[in-house]
């Protein structure tokens, strides 16, 4: 939908104060291009970055700021980890205090983590306009906490910026008016495009000894896959089988590492001779290694999008996805989390090369520019 300038240009006014909320690693990737786009309007926009502290480990937070050329947050709420209810409540209490101090004209939330929903809810109570970046994605599985976060945030938001037509359809089917919905593209792909020279030059695959042979890139972190011992054991069985076919590279999420040890699977994983395990990687190293891989096995939402943009076959170890466009148009396939299905399809791809995909419309590296242009045209100062 084209931008309609409802309130005229920002002339002889104070800069529009926009409070931008991040809390977890995927948020950092999504907000970085938007912060860069704001910087082109220093007289029109005062962009404040707030980190809730939902991801607080250096490997999950600080390193990403440097890699993404993202300014350090002006505010860090430092909430840390807790149950969903306690974490959400802590974010809401601390965020409410900051709203009273900052007094923004707009709050921008991204993605689907607890920070996204918590801050949108506080803004709704305080009558502050909210823009949701990556709106309208649906897995239709309410057992996923992210699905609840997405649905609540979209219901409360005033501006809904979507990555694909399917998201627009989802929002319309839920009764959200078309005047709030704007198809802009995908800021995850903006980051991928703008930082391509850096991750191509990083040579991370060679540093990990992966430059001489084809390999598969693995990421597993969702509670539905790692918290249940039989499911995690089955995924490890699949990796045990596949490591005889192809070298595997697995940067371990802290939650996954903890569960492997808790479930008594750590020693068995470490005995796999063709598996390389590392600590979590920063964005540049992660993209550098993944871009060199021949297959990706993951349960991450963002990686489904990144592999589609990179043209790499991706097997998603889930029974559903909110990013269906990566299946319809991209290189992604759902294989569930049962070892038989994972191994069968992975072997087929290793032999045949996997399906060919294409990059979806507007995944062109310019989504953030569209978002900022819309904000300037639609949000009163």
What total of structural domains would you count in the chain?
2
Within-domain flag for 96: yes
CATH number at residue 102: 3.40.50.2000
Structure tokens at 273: 């001779």
Same domain, 208 and 293: yes
Within-domain flag for 357: no
Structure tokens at 355: 């399906």
Burial class (CB in 10 A: 0-12, 13-18, 19+), 181: buried
Annotation says 221 is catalytic? yes
Burial class (CB in 10 A: 0-12, 13-18, 19+), 13: exposed
* CA contacts within 13 A on the Cβ side of 160: 26
Same domain, 152 and 202: no
**Residue 28 contacts residue 115 (beta carbons within 8 Å):** no
Same domain, 151 and 210: no
Within-domain flag for 2: no
pLDDT attached to residue 353 = 87
pLDDT attached to residue 8 = 46
**179: containing domain:** 16-186+363-378
pLDDT attached to residue 1 = 43
Q: How far apart are the first and last CA of the chain?
A: 22
Same domain, 285 and 235: yes
pLDDT attached to residue 64 = 87
pLDDT attached to residue 54 = 82
Neighbours of 358 (CB within 10 A): 11
pLDDT attached to residue 82 = 87
Same domain, 312 and 345: yes
Same domain, 129 and 218: no
Within-domain flag for 3: no
Within-domain flag for 309: yes
Q: Which of 336, 338, 314 is nearest to 141 (CA)?
A: 336
Cα 64 to the center of its chain, rounded Å: 13
Q: Could you tell me the sign of the dihedral formed by the alpha carbons of 90, 92, 95, 96, in that order?
A: negative
Within-domain flag for 191: no
Same domain, 235 and 289: yes
pLDDT in tens, 205-222: 999 999 888 999 999 999
Burial class (CB in 10 A: 0-12, 13-18, 19+), 318: buried
pLDDT attached to residue 12 = 54
Which residue stretches of the chain have pLDDT < 50? Answer: 1-10
Same domain, 28 and 161: yes
Within-domain flag for 77: yes
Distance CA 123, CA 118 (A): 9
Same domain, 165 and 287: no
pLDDT attached to residue 345 = 97
Same domain, 40 and 106: yes
Same domain, 241 and 131: no
* Catalytic annotation, pick one of 132, 221, 244, 263: 221
Same domain, 163 and 216: no
pLDDT attached to residue 7 = 42
How much is the pTM? 0.94
Within-domain flag for 149: yes
pLDDT attached to residue 61 = 67
Alpha carbon separation from 138 to 8, 78, 91, 148 (Å, rounded)? 34, 29, 24, 10
């Amino acid at each position: 939908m084209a931008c309609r300038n409802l309130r005229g240009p920002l002339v002889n006014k104070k800069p529009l104060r926009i409070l931008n909320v991040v809390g977890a690693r995927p948020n950092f990737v999504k907000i970085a291009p938007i912060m860069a786009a704001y910087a082109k309007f220093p007289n029109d926009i005062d962009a404040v970055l707030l980190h809730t502290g939902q991801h607080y480990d250096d490997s999950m937070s600080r390193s990403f700021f440097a890699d993404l050329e993202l300014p350090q947050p002006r505010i860090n709420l430092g909430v840390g980890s807790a149950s969903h209810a306690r974490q959400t409540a802590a974010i809401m209490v601390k965020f409410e205090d900051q709203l009273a101090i900052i007094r923004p004209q707009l709050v921008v939330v991204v993605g689907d983590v607890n920070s996204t929903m918590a801050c949108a809810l506080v803004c709704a109570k305080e009558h502050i306009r909210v823009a949701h970046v990556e709106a309208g994605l649906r897995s239709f599985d309410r057992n996923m906490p992210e699905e609840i976060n997405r649905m609540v945030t979209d219901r409360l938001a005033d501006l809904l910026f979507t990555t694909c037509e399917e998201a627009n359809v989802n929002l319309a089917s839920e009764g959200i008016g078309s005047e709030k919905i704007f198809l802009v593209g995908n800021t995850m792909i903006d980051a991928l495009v703008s930082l391509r020279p850096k991750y191509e030059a990083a040579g991370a695959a060679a540093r990990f000894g992966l430059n001489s042979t084809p390999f598969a890139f693995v990421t597993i972190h969702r509670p539905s896959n790692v918290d249940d011992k039989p499911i995690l054991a089955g995924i490890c069985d699949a990796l045990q089988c596949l490591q005889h076919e192809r070298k595997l590279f697995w940067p371990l999420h802290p939650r996954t590492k903890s569960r492997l040890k808790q479930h008594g699977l750590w020693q068995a994983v470490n005995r796999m001779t063709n598996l390389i395990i590392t600590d979590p990687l920063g964005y540049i190293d992660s993209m550098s290694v993944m871009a060199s891989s021949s297959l990706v096995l993951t349960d991450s939402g963002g990686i489904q999008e990144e592999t589609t943009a990179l043209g790499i076959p991706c097997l998603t170890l889930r029974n559903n996805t909110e990013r269906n466009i990566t299946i319809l148009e991209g290189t992604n396939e759902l294989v569930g989390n049962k070892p038989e299905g994972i191994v069968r399809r992975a072997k087929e791809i290793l032999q045949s090369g996997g399906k060919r995909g294409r990059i979806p419309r507007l995944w062109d590296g310019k989504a953030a520019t569209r978002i900022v242009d819309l904000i300037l045209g639609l949000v009163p100062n």
